[in-house]
Amino acid sequence: MTKDITLDHVSVSFGDYTAVDDAHLTIHGGEFFSFLGPSGCGKTTLLRCISGFQEPSWGEIRIGGKNMRGIGPNKRPTALIFQNLALFPLMSVADNIAFPLEVRGIDRKTRRKRADELLELIALPGQGDKKVSALSGGQRQRVAIARALAVEPDILLLDEPLSALDLKLRQHMRRELRAIQQQVGLTFIYITHDQGEALTMSDRVAVMSRGRIEQVAESRTVYDHPATGFVASFVGENNALSGTVLENDGTRLTVDLGLGTPAVVAAVGRGAKLKVGEACHVFVRPESIALGPGDSVNRFDAAVVREEFEGQVRHLIVRCGERDLRVTQVGQGQGNGGGQPSVPGGAVSIAFAPELATALPVGHLASV
Ligand SMILES: Nc1ncnc2c1ncn2[C@@H]1O[C@H](COP(=O)(O)OP(=O)(O)OP(=O)(O)O)[C@@H](O)[C@H]1O
């Protein structure tokens, strides 16, 4: 059975310091939900509240409609996987997986049967008698997941479980984790500061900063339509341009961004409420900027500052009016016009569609 998890205006304070500030959302049963944010933004504190290791200072957590206040971690339908996995290295794989069942007094035969089933699930069939110390990092990761699943929780809580793995393995484990979650149909609540992890695996993502939830949405929405300047600057690369609104006709904004001539930006979301004369931030993704001649309402003359080659992608830093902009070209740059000179000082023409830029009220941005 899948249970919704509701955070009802949850805040957590440590003395004068507010680690979580009015978190208010519902995670649906069966969802892969991630909390994404930089170190210290309050992700772990929220996860600890859900698991029962921390009581909220204010507000309520409900699982399946039931208020969790006063209910300890062992009595909640949750299991937690830590960064360090906390496996017993000298115990066999099967005994590690079955350990929580042993604690609950389940007999040896039943424990082994359950461990073998879980080994199938994590694609390590027949490996139960190996010592954990003989496994690779990724295999240990899977064993930790199997152990958490042994007690048949409704909700699996994962605290940066891939952070100790190397890049290739992390990317592989993202796919595995998602596949396991879909297979078992449980709710996974995942916390990470790694946007790639959050975006690739999750049904929805909550982006956090300074204890507050800035946006809750599907990955693509978070990327394409960031709700705040923090989300726009934290998730993916973005050119952040400060400017002043010159005109707002309800569908489009005309903004002075210091690019030589004003830019036109779609007036959507919180940007639609910007008033003439108001300061704002406009965000344009590097891959949304096209190089070369063409027809566009936003076309600007620029000069190449430098090129950064990264194999599959090429980044150009161009100077446009008073601003430096990053332009990313994929492949040989055919995608957004690669035939332009990239020698420092070379003249280029850049353009972006109004719909591919996001205007937002001025707010705090992610630090680089
Ligand atoms: N028990 C505590 N007492 C005092 N301050 C705390 C306590 N636990 C957390 N904090 C503070 O609350 C803030 C949020 O911490 P939290 O661990 O939730 O952040 P996080 O986003 O998970 O960070 P990280 O990714 O580094 O683990 C931090 O500034 C932290 O120092």
Q: For residue 193, which atom of ligand 1 is closest to its CA?
A: 25
User: How many Å apart are CA 115 and CA 222, to the nearest integer?
Assistant: 38
Residue 168 pLDDT exceeds 70: yes
pLDDT score for 340: 54
Collapsed DSSP state (helix, strand, coil) of residue 124 = coil
Report the percentage of the chain scoring pLDDT > 70: 95
User: How many Å apart are CA 119 and CA 106, to the nearest integer?
Assistant: 18
Say which residues have a Cβ less than 8 Å from residue 197's Cβ, sequence separation at least 6.
34, 162, 170, 174, 190
Least confident of 37-51, 110-124, 279-293: 110-124
Nearest CA to ligand 1 atom 29: 40
Model pLDDT for residues 193-235, shown as the tens digit of each residue: 999 999 999 999 999 999 999 999 999 999 999 999 999 999 9
Going from the Cα of 227 to the center of ligand 1, the distance in angstroms, rounded, reads: 24
Q: For residue 46, which atom of ligand 1 is closest to its CA?
A: 18
Going from the Cα of 20 to the center of ligand 1, the distance in angstroms, rounded, reads: 9
Say which residues have a Cβ less than 8 Å from residue 76's Cβ, sequence separation at least 6.
51, 52, 63, 68
Least confident of 49-63, 255-269, 311-325: 311-325
Contact 281, 241 (CB under 8 A): yes
Going from the Cα of 23 to the center of ligand 1, the distance in angstroms, rounded, reads: 15
Going from the Cα of 271 to the center of ligand 1, the distance in angstroms, rounded, reads: 32
Name residue 31's amino acid: E
Confidence of residue 2 (pLDDT cuts 50, 70, 90): confident
Burial grade of 339 (CB within 10 A; 0-12, 13-18, 19 or more): exposed
Residue 336 pLDDT exceeds 70: no
Report the percentage of the chain scoring pLDDT > 90: 65
Model pLDDT for residues 81-126, shown as the tens digit of each residue: 876 667 888 889 999 999 988 888 889 999 999 999 899 888 888 8
Report CA-CA distances (Å) from 169 to 65, 161, 193.
38, 12, 17
Q: For residue 191, which atom of ligand 1 is closest to its CA?
A: 22
- Contacts by 211-215, CB closer than 8 A, 24 or more apart: 211/18, 211/19, 211/20, 211/21, 211/41, 211/42, 212/21, 212/22, 212/23, 213/23, 213/24, 213/25
Residue 335 pLDDT exceeds 60: no
Rounded to two decimals, the pTM is 0.90
Cα-Cα-Cα-Cα dihedral sign, residues 271, 272, 276, 282: positive
Q: What is the mean pLDDT of residues 169-175?
A: 83
Which value does ipTM take for this structure?
A: 0.96
Report CA-CA distances (Å) from 230 to 46, 194, 235, 249, 263.
19, 15, 8, 26, 22
Say which residues have a Cβ less than 8 Å from residue 262's Cβ, sequence separation at least 6.
246, 254, 255, 256
pLDDT score for 334: 47
Model pLDDT for residues 350-364, shown as the tens digit of each residue: 999 999 999 999 989
Q: What is the mean pLDDT of residues 277-300?
A: 90
